[in-house]
Structure 1
Amino acid sequence: MPFIDAGGITVHYDLTGPADAPVLLFANSIGTSFHIWDAMVPVLAQRYRVLRYDMRGHGLTQATPVTGDAGYGMDTLADDAAALLDALGIARAHVCGLSIGGMMAQRLAVKAPRRVNGLILCDTAGLIGPPSVWADRIAAIRARGMAGIADGVMARWFTERFRAEHPAQVRGYAAMLGRTTEDGYVGCAMAIRDADLRAANAGIAAPTLVVVGDQDLATPPALARELADSIPGARFALLPDAAHIPCVERPDELAALIDGFLRGLPLR
């Protein structure tokens, strides 16, 4: 299992694919690890050097303490991604983020435009709220632990059909959520709560694809379309029969969308 010191924390990552291929960086959603992308790697790693990492406080990446009402902040999470690229000697990458990973990717594309070739924003938005949603979830975690939010989260992550047909997978993802550190989840929840990226997104220069599951309750299609409309030249794609984690429910379809989009970009 590769680990590296980057941005003042120890980061768990995976890098696979041809050494001379364009790098494709994946950023996970809140409460998950980089394993949500597993089913897409065999296809995409044939053409890209696929870099996945666990966000701060998630998976096997180090958590930093959350004190009071101050979370990690979206700038911190974007800086984490840039620091990982630096530590691995990667100057530029295509960047794909899901949910909070997509918010991080938006911020990275604004803060460090020269680092981002193509941008894929999955089931995310410039503002995911209202803040009361995150305040209630943080309170529930502090009162009952991570397991206390699992049922509600699974209902948002996956469609009813997927939950019925793949109960073992859903239990596995509930376990993944439950093993996320409280500091990591709360710190990232506060980062989402406090982030409004909508105005800054007009400055994103990277070619952008916005993808959303047609049954996503957490970041509904209307919100994703609003995100696409806010980014100059962004494309929008609706993924059928998917909720908030399409890389698990519809990995082949999502991989095809990403590959088709990136193949159409000019070499830089």
Structure 2
Amino acid sequence: MSEHIVKSYEDELRLLRDMIARMGGMVESQLSQATNAMVRRDVALASRVVEADPQVDALDREIAHHVVRLLALRQPVASDLRLIVAAMRISSDLERVGDYAANVAKRSIVLAQMPPQVSVGPLERMSRMVQEMLKDTLDAFATDDDPKAMEVWRRDEAVDEMYSAVFRTLLTYMMEDPRNITPCTHLLFIAKNLERMGDHATNIAETIHFAVVGEDPVGARPKGDTSALASAQAGDATREA
């Protein structure tokens, strides 16, 4: 390749990284603001999160178009090909995280119309864990830091365990007082959204490992979600009562 073509190609790869960083920053902001809206019962802030979601979707489409152009015109191989494919996969995961953040905001709007009967402190802590995972995966992608990405990969289990604990607590509140059923149902959906965001951050970590190393992580993904068991036990307790 001529020096001009090489520089142009490098600029296009750099632009792809920049687009992923910009999208990641948007999604991080969405999640942070959605969490703050839930904690503060701030309907206006939650509404802004929902309204911002189409911008994330638009950037996802822009990245997809850029990826297709690179594949068609540059015919990349080896590490460049892995980077381009990884960017497309990461963009898809970030788009889903943005959707879940918007869902949290929508539930927060509904909860703000109800009396505050249940503490959202555990959900706030769970959200902060997921936000840290997202930040660290984006940092790992920016620097091709595979050890950092794999450290995030292992942290997914902690988010699952937190989700299981929140699930059990909310089920207990619902069984103790029927007035808690409606708000706790919304909080259960928020908790599940956060758990899924953690899964997508873990997906990104796996993608980074693939892009840097050239293979998928060895071994099964660590999991700590026992909510299904908790739900079954709650059903048994209800039938016995």
Q: TM-score range by the shorter chain?
A: under 0.3
TM-score, scaled to structure 2: 0.27
Higher strand share: 1
TM-score, scaled to structure 1: 0.25
Q: Which has the larger radius of gyration?
A: 2
Higher helix share: 2
